[in-house]
Amino acid sequence: MTANRILAAASITCSLFAISACATNSAAPPIAPPADFVALGVNAPYLSGPLVGGQRSRAAKMRAAKIAPVAAYAVPSYMQDLDSELRRQTAGIGLDVLRVGDGIVIRIPAALTFNAGSAAVNPQFDATLLEIARTVKTRNRTFVDVYAHTDTTGTAAGNQALSDKRAAAVASYLANHGVSRARIASRGLGQSAPLYNPDDTPTKQAANRRVEIRLVPYRG
């Protein structure tokens, strides 16, 4: 990524986080990136890597659930419509909707979804997750990968276990609100993929604690 693109990404992210501070529940701490922010953006390997659980296994589950694939020629328009709908739903509430190849990643600060040390979804964020679930349910011709991350405080083993539980909690939420379980897989990434490295301030740590929902087209 060039210096100009990094600065541009940082500028956009700063604006999104500034909106978040105004629009989210007052109990959630503001999440504003510091000046030395270096964006993983869309270049983090796991965001463009293989599906959680593997393509072949996941596709078999989709076929068994009688979910129709998207024809190759229709993928761009299908994903663009999904992207537009998600952006309308989440405007002004502090989420990032990112395009990664022909997929979409919804990045959610963990301060909006979990209390410190907890894997229980915050009640105040229920309505937003519900709206996401409704769209993901309707646009059902996508795989759904859920990732959760921690900061680097605590032990690596403890952070991995917590992120596994958080990813599973969001996956279960989506499934319990109508998204086919055949479409969903989850993985905790612990402290292995930070947005800030080192995360040596509370602001950086808060930003590293996040959840991401990755939507990948199920191709014919």
Interval 136-185: pLDDT, tens: 999 999 999 999 999 999 899 999 999 999 999 999 999 999 999 999 99
Q: What is the pTM of this model?
A: 0.82
Measured between alpha carbons, how far is 156 from 175 in angstroms, rounded to an integer? Answer: 28
pLDDT interval class at 26 (50, 70, 90): very low
Tokens representing residue 199 in the block: 């995360």
Better pLDDT: 94 or 151: 151
pLDDT at 52 over 60: yes
DSSP 122: P
Q: Which domains does the chain have, with CATH numbers?
A: 3-217 (3.30.1330.60)
Q: What is the DSSP letter of 187?
A: E
Q: Rounded to 5 degrees, what angle do the CA atoms 22, 27, 33 make?
A: 50
Residue 67 DSSP symbol? P
Closest CA to 103 of 63, 62, 136, 56: 136
Beta strand ranges found along 27-118 (DSSP E): 96-100, 103-109
CA–CA dist 85, 11 (Å, integer): 24
